[in-house]
């Protein structure tokens, strides 16, 4: 077991590990337990009552957080012609075609956080699938990153669009902002992502859908939220 530092142990004393907190109370505690010298990210972890091995129990989607994530996101757009102008006008950090694919192939260049590609570029993008795929950077129609609506896609990403996706352990991990946002902004972001995940409940999912809902800052302990109350609201 990893040895916990003094600050973590101090933060742990502020939390009742047997309690399921209301959202506002939990987010207040996140601010109090964040003791790092940097502005910590607030992470949301949700364990769902689904079996990800079955295609009809996948939970995946995207949502634009009202207050963003607090992170500056670098966007690479792979497109042609007028779509490159759209990318530039929308604020993409990099935009081009095969020259960027070649740069990634030959230099292992990965100075970006999201890749947006137009459908007519996917044949070329496929050449770097082995590089982008394992890092979660491969454009995908389901996440809105394979599209001819380049301007809209880039603007949404820059505004704070996040993707949520259940993993093999039936858990979704997603950032909801920075500790510096304060409780009210974090709560609005939290509500936005939770509403999307609840709405995305698969018809095939049986039993309790939200098994555990936990928030924590980057270096802080987890704080459990009453998930059943969220379903009832």
Residue 1: pLDDT band (50, 70, 90) is very low
pLDDT digits (tens, 9 = 90+) for 130-154: 999 999 899 999 889 999 999 999 9
Following DSSP, what letter does each residue of 169-219 receive, concatenated? TSEEEEEEEEGGG-HHHHHHHHHHHHHHHHHT--TT--S-SEEEEEEEETT
Following DSSP, what letter does each residue of 75-142 receive, concatenated? EEEE--THHHHHHHHHT-SEEESHHHHHHHHHH-----SEEEE-GGGHHHHGGGHHHHGGGT-S--GG
d(CA 189, CA 27): 11
Residue 7: pLDDT band (50, 70, 90) is confident
SS3 70: coil
* β-bridge partners, 212: 47
pLDDT digits (tens, 9 = 90+) for 19-77: 999 999 999 999 999 888 999 999 999 999 999 999 999 999 999 999 999 989 999 99
């Amino acid at each position: 077991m990893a040895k916990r530092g003094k600050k973590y142990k101090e933060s742990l004393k502020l939390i009742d590990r047997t309690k399921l907190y209301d959202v506002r109370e939990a987010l207040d505690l996140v601010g109090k337990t964040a003791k790092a010298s940097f502005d910590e990210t607030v992470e949301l972890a949700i364990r769902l009552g689904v079996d990800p091995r079955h295609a009809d129990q996948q939970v995946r989607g995207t949502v634009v957080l009202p207050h963003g994530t607090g992170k500056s996101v670098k966007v690479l757009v792979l497109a042609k012609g007028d779509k490159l102008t759209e990318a530039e006008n929308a604020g993409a950090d990099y935009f081009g075609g095969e020259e960027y694919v070649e740069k990634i192939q030959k230099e292992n260049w990965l100075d970006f956080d999201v890749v947006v590609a137009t459908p007519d570029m996917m044949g070329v993008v496929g050449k770097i699938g082995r590089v982008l795929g394992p890092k979660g950077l491969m454009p995908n129609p389901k996440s809105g990153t394979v599209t001819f609506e380049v301007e809209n896609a880039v603007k949404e990403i820059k505004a704070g669009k996040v993707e949520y996706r259940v993993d093999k352990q039936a858990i979704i991990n997603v950032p909801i902002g920075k500790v510096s946002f304060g409780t009210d902004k974090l709560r609005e972001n939290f509500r936005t992502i939770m509403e999307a995940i609840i709405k995305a409940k698969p018809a095939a999912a049986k039993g309790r859908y939200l098994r555990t809902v936990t928030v924590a800052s980057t270096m802080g302990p987890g704080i459990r939220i009453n998930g059943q109350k969220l379903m009832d609201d």
